[in-house]
């Protein structure tokens, strides 16, 4: 079988053109970066519609495009469950978090948590969880970059793919250093439009080949898979054993509850001028994301029908190759180059958004408010954020090299589990529980975070899965070792309740809480009064 598809020269030319366009956008946007608010929150100058498109761009990552299309092509109905989980999760963000968070915070999640609590312990804990979630999410994007370039350029050895991952990481750091949130937001808006347009064109093309009859398409996918009717049945992937059924419940919990705790999504609510715009942002995002996930159903089954499972699994990028291979099958080298370039722009934009969130959290929460105790100029804070972005980029590159070859939708689900375990409980407690206090917040974040990360480290994801005969490799991240004792791939079913439980116990064991501050926070969260000055020092 070929080690690449299409023409590597055409693929890299179209990709270079897309990178050049996005770099021009970033450089133009960077001219207006004068303050910390410009760098962290884009000067709060975006409308609800613009921010909603940018949120869609931030959220529709390599997992949404490459991972889900591949999962549907291989597993059918069970792959589409990722789409359902990722979309339904936005209802939690819309109903419980978006507007209240915009009114109460300033730049980061920790601004909200520390409003009525002691700054230093809460900010340190929040920054720690932000960095952990961002790291797991970055793993997925970097793994997607490695697999995509392996397919397009025929780079099959892992060393070469590692070099590619390093180049993507360096580009991403440049975006963040130069453009800040404003540049990153515009890249995400352009990328969202391109991604949804590209997916829409491919969807119409696939349906046209099946007389615009969805039943005919599904039948062709089943036939291509050798009559595996399980492609249309639930629990095809997760129904074999009791353990896999538990894994499914765990995954569903992580997907549905994780979005409202993702730091890079939460930070986007601060780029708009009012809470009303924050709410409009989420409704725009839900509409665009919902449309895209409906398209993934056709793209996934279309890849299964027109490309075939065997060819997808045998490609250098494995299951993540379904969408590019479908593009090549439909429109040859040119469409492949365009779709692959859009996928690359997707990876760059999402990674840039994650990096600016993680670097802002460290600079604003840890350095400025914990180490310097608020006595630091805005320019110094931004300088520290830029240095942090370089460090995070380096860590992401190393992690991405290890994670290369994993299904990226699955890797993102791990990030969702960590976010739902460490961040969501403390956000909901802070916004809605008068009795909540500093000890409860610290226990909730560290308890949920340590539980989730520990279970992931000792799960089959990291070590212990049997070797796949088709690839000669174990699906686990580490080869030839087995130290797993936790049976599930996703820790959500244990770690999410643990985050809530630790927070409850910690708060109850401490008598300290500030009822007056809670009343002030409640008024501010509902009215938006004084939102720009939503940080206090005590």
On whether residue 31 sits in a domain, the answer given is no
Is residue 283 one of the residues assigned to a domain?
Answer: yes
Rounded-to-integer distance, Cα 332 and Cα 150, Å:
18
Please check whether residue 37 lies inside any domain of the structure: no
Q: In a 10 Å sphere around its CB, with 0-12 CB exposed, 13-18 middle and 19+ buried, how is residue 21 labelled?
A: middle
Structure confidence at residue 405 (pLDDT): 65
Q: For position 182, which CATH number holds?
A: 1.20.1730.10
pLDDT of the residue at 529? 63
> Coil, strand or helix: which one is 469?
coil
The pTM of this model reads 0.81
In the chain, % helix, strand, coil (3-state, to 5) comes to 80, 0, 20
Per-residue pLDDT of the chain (538 residues; tens, 9 = 90+): 445 566 777 877 887 888 788 788 777 776 665 555 556 555 556 777 888 898 888 788 767 788 888 889 888 888 888 888 888 888 887 777 777 777 776 666 777 777 788 878 888 898 889 888 888 888 777 777 777 776 677 676 777 777 877 877 787 777 777 766 677 778 888 888 988 998 999 999 999 998 888 889 888 888 887 665 567 777 776 766 767 788 888 888 998 898 888 887 777 777 777 777 777 888 888 899 999 999 999 999 999 888 888 888 877 667 778 888 899 888 888 888 888 888 877 777 777 778 878 887 888 778 877 787 767 766 777 788 888 888 888 888 888 777 776 667 677 888 889 999 999 999 899 888 888 888 999 999 999 999 999 998 898 888 877 776 666 667 777 777 888 888 888 899 999 999 999 999 999 998 887 778 778 877 877 776 655 544 444 3
- Residue 160 burial (C-beta neighbours within 10 Å; 0-12, 13-18, 19+): middle
pLDDT given at position 536: 41
Q: Which tokens in the block code for residue 277?
A: 């715009």
By C-alpha distance, which of 2, 44, 377 is closest to 181?
44
Residue with tokens 């709410």: 279
256 contacts: CB under 8 Å, gap ≥ 6: 85, 88, 89, 92
Are residues 217 and 295 in contact, defined by beta-carbon separation less than 8 angstroms?
A: no
Alpha-carbon distances, residue 433 vs 14, 43, 177, 403, 428 (angstroms): 52, 31, 38, 39, 8
Structural domains of the chain, count:
1
Q: Which two tokens stand for residue 340?
A: 């692959």
Kindly report the backbone phi and psi dihedral angles of residue 485, in degrees, each rounded to the nearest multiple of 5, phi listed first: -130, -15
Measured CA to CA, the distance from residue 305 to residue 216 in angstroms comes to 10
Query: Does residue 105 form part of some domain?
Result: yes
Distance CA 55, CA 266 (A): 10
Q: Is residue 281 part of a domain?
A: yes
Spatial separation of the C-alpha atoms in residues 448 and 426, rounded to whole Å: 10
Tokens of 167: 């180049």
Q: Does 239 reside within a domain? A: yes
Q: What sign does the CA torsion over 282, 284, 290, 292 have? A: negative
Quick one: pLDDT at residue 37?
Answer: 56
Q: Is residue 39 part of a domain?
A: no
The pLDDT assigned to 347 comes to 77
CA-CA distance, 116 to 403, in Å (whole number)? 39
For residue 76, tell me if it sits in a domain. yes
Structural domain harbouring 381: 8-25+46-527
Compute CA distances 232 → 202, 204, 209, 220, 221, whole Å. 21, 21, 20, 12, 9
Specify the DSSP element, H or E, that contains 227.
none
Cβ burial of 334 (10 Å; 0-12, 13-18, 19+) is middle
Alpha carbon distance 32, 44 (integer Å) = 12
> Which residues, 6+ apart, have CB-to-CB distance to 90 below 8 Å?
259, 282, 285, 286, 289
Angle in degrees, CA 436, 438, 441, rounded to 5? 70
For residue 218, give every residue at least 6 positions away whose Cβ sits within 8 Å of its Cβ, in sequence order, or none. Answer: 231, 232, 301
Which among 361, 325, 369, 365 has a CA at the least distance from the CA of 343?
A: 325
Partners of 402 in the β-ladder: none
Asked if 237 contacts 244 with a C-beta cutoff of 8 angstroms, the reply is yes
What is the number of helices (H) and of strands (E) in the chain? 22, 0
Q: What per-residue confidence (pLDDT) applies to 34?
A: 59
Q: How far is CA 323 from CA 9, 20, 340, 410, in A?
A: 20, 24, 9, 16
């Amino acid at each position: 079988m070929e080690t690449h598809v299409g023409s590597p020269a055409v693929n890299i030319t179209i990709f270079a053109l897309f990178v050049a366009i996005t770099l021009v956008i970033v450089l133009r946007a960077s001219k207006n970066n004068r303050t910390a608010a410009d760098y962290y929150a884009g000067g709060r100058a975006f409308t609800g519609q613009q921010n909603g498109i940018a949120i869609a761009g931030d959220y529709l990552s390599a997992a949404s495009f490459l991972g889900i299309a591949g999962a549907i092509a291989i597993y059918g109905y069970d792959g589409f469950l990722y789409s359902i989980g990722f979309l339904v999760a936005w209802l939690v963000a819309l109903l419980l978090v978006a507007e209240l968070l915009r009114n109460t915070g300033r730049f980061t999640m920790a601004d909200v948590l520390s409003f009525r609590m002691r700054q230093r312990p809460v900010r340190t804990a929040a920054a720690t969880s932000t960095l952990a979630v961002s790291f797991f999410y970055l793993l997925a994007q970097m793994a997607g970059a490695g697999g995509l370039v392996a397919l397009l350029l025929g780079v099959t050895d892992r060393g070469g793919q590692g070099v590619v991952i390093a180049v993507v990481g360096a580009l991403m750091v440049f975006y963040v250093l130069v453009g800040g949130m404003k540049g990153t937001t515009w890249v995400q808006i352009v990328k969202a439009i391109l991604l949804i347009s590209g997916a829409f064109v491919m969807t119409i093309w696939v349906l046209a080949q099946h007389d615009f009859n969805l039943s005919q398409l599904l039948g062709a996918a089943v036939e291509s898979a050798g009559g595996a009717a399980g492609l249309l049945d639930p629990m095809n992937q997760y129904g074999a054993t009791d353990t896999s059924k538990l894994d499914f419940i765990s995954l569903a919990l992580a997907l549905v509850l994780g979005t409202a705790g993702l730091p890079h999504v939460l930070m986007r609510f601060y780029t708009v001028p009012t809470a009303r715009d924050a709410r409009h942002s989420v409704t725009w995002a839900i509409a665009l994301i919902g449309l895209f996930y409906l398209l993934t159903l056709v793209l996934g089954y279309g890849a299964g029908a027109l490309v075939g499972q065997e060819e997808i699994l045998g490609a250098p990028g494995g299951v993540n190759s379904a969408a590019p291979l479908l593009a090549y099958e439909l429109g040859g080298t040119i469409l492949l180059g365009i779709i692959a370039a859009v996928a690359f722009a997707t990876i760059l934009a999402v990674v840039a958004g994650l990096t600016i969130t993680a670097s802002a959290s460290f600079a604003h929460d840890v350095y400025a408010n914990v180490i310097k105790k608020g006595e630091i100029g805005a320019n110094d804070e931004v300088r520290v954020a830029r240095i942090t972005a370089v460090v995070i980029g380096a860590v992401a590159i190393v992690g991405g090299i290890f994670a290369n070859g994993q299904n990226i939708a699955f890797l993102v689900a791990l990030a969702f589990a960590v976010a739902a375990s460490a961040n969501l409980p403390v956000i909901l407690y802070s916004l809605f529980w008068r009795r909540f206090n500093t000890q409860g917040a610290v226990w909730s974040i560290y308890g949920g975070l340590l539980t989730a990360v520990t279970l992931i480290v000792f799960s089959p994801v990291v070590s212990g899965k049997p070797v796949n005969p088709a690839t000669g490799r174990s699906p686990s991240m580490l080869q030839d070792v087995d130290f797993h004792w936790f049976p599930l791939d996703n820790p959500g079913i244990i770690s999410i309740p643990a985050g809530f439980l630790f927070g409850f116990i910690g708060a109850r064991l401490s008598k300290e809480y500030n009822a007056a501050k809670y009343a002030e926070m409640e008024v501010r969260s509902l009215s938006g009064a004084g939102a720009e000055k939503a940080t206090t020092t005590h």
